[in-house]
Amino acid sequence: MAGFHVPSGTITRGKSRASHSPIRLDFRRFGTAGGPHVTEHIKFTHALNRVADLHSLLLESKSELLMDKGVAMTGWKTESPFIAEGELDAILKHGRKLAKSIDDFVSVGIGGSYLGNRATLEAIHGPLELFNLLTVMERGHIPRQFFLGNHMSPGYTARVLQILSGRSVGVNVISKSGGTVEPAIAFAILKEALENSYPDAAARIVAVTDRSKGALKELADEKGYATYVVPDNVGGRFSVTSPVGLFGLAVAGVDIKEFIAGAKFAEEMTRERPAEKNIAMLRATMRYIAHVEMQKKIEVASTGIHGLKGVTMWMQQLGPESEGKNGQGLWVSPEFYTEMAHANGQMIQMGERNMIETFLMVEDTGMDVKISAKGTPVSYLDGKKLSSVNQAFIDGLRDAHYEGGVPTMSYILPRIDAFTLGQFYQLEMNTIALSGLLLGQNPFIQPGVQQYKDVANARSGKPGTETALADMMTAEKKLDPKFIV
């Protein structure tokens, strides 16, 4: 029996565009339909002027609002976009060499050591569950990509280990201290398997960790792993343009020189453009006015491009972890349309008016599909491109939500490539840093994250937590058992 055959001309590619086109921001609908635009708010101009001053504060890197343990956490702004070409060359060379010697690559990390990397890979290569199904030739000789250590689900971890069995595997473990439990467990499992499988196990492991201290750094020195440094002045969620992101991206065939060029381009735009033409400053100000003056609580981060789902999830961490302090901050909810147009879309359209929405639009989607629909219920679409129909529905959601009372704005990405993604990350990191500072917060600390770790460490038997565990058990015994049914 003949196999499945796609007719010639069904799959197409978009027109090539200049690779260094700037991202644009469309905020025409950021207000109430038929009512005032956010820029007409009485406090908007004052807030925008404050943002310009706060941007100078970021560049100076001296304020207490920027410090974590005495270090100004602004390296993502002052250093990462300006990394020396020689350093990029060395990372590229190492990444390509490792890629040629392995079948599968496992990146171990959590939070900021994970989300930006995966988001970038999936934006460029497509969802990993599909990318990994391609042949090595179809993948351009890029190893299959896997991520562990971002959770502790036993079934998922076991399945990945089964899939890796019998393959040639390389590992990139990313942890500043080496003590974060989720990646530490995943790496411990992989390390043992590697050492039992290969005489050159150490050469297959690359650690991205602290420059001089911590459990992972000590282990790397003892075992002879190649290492890259997590900068002291870069926090996890702001780290994708640092070695935290760059080595894994290099192994996955991403042009990290273009990636950093995009970040540098966006940083220079943020420094040079006046506030009223400055994407990061405008977005920070609009989010602030919406939250503080219009009582909005949620920012919906939406896209109709499957490859950008991970980018909206990166936004979900960047915003709330930076702003979620002192009873303030916008919750960020990722939405993929049109999949969620019926579910969460109903709430966005007609639920409580407590949200704003930011769309990620793409002008040139790259690969496209020509619709053949004669004799079907959608025959009126015959001969059209799937991208144009998809865009019509995304535009429809945007317009309907705006008419329904949701202020919306749209990032307009010229295309999906390394330069554009670097540009986007830098713009959004500036946005969130400025937005947090507008709220009077330090956007670079996350004191609330430690609480669950302390409880979990005690419950899992970490040495030194015995007293804390006893207190927890005493408190649990006071809970009324009648509320278990």
| Residues annotated catalytic, as ranges | 321, 342, 453
CB neighbours of 174 closer than 8 A, spacing ≥ 6?
107, 108, 109, 113, 114, 183, 207, 208, 209, 230, 244, 248
- Going by the DSSP 8-state scheme, the letter that residue 37 receives in this structure is B
80, 263 Cβ separation under 8 angstroms: yes
Q: Which H or E element spans position 46?
A: helix 44-60
Closest CA to 322 of 421, 239, 408: 239
Place of tokens 């469309």: 26
Three-class SS of 60-110 = HCCCHHHEECCEECCHHHHCHHHCCHHHHHHHHHHHHHHHHHCCEEEEECC
CB neighbours of 323 closer than 8 A, spacing ≥ 6?
329, 330, 432, 435, 436, 439, 441, 443
Place of tokens 């706060």: 54
Place of tokens 């015959």: 382
402, 29 Cβ separation under 8 angstroms: yes
Q: What are phi and psi of 107, to 5 degrees?
A: -100, 125
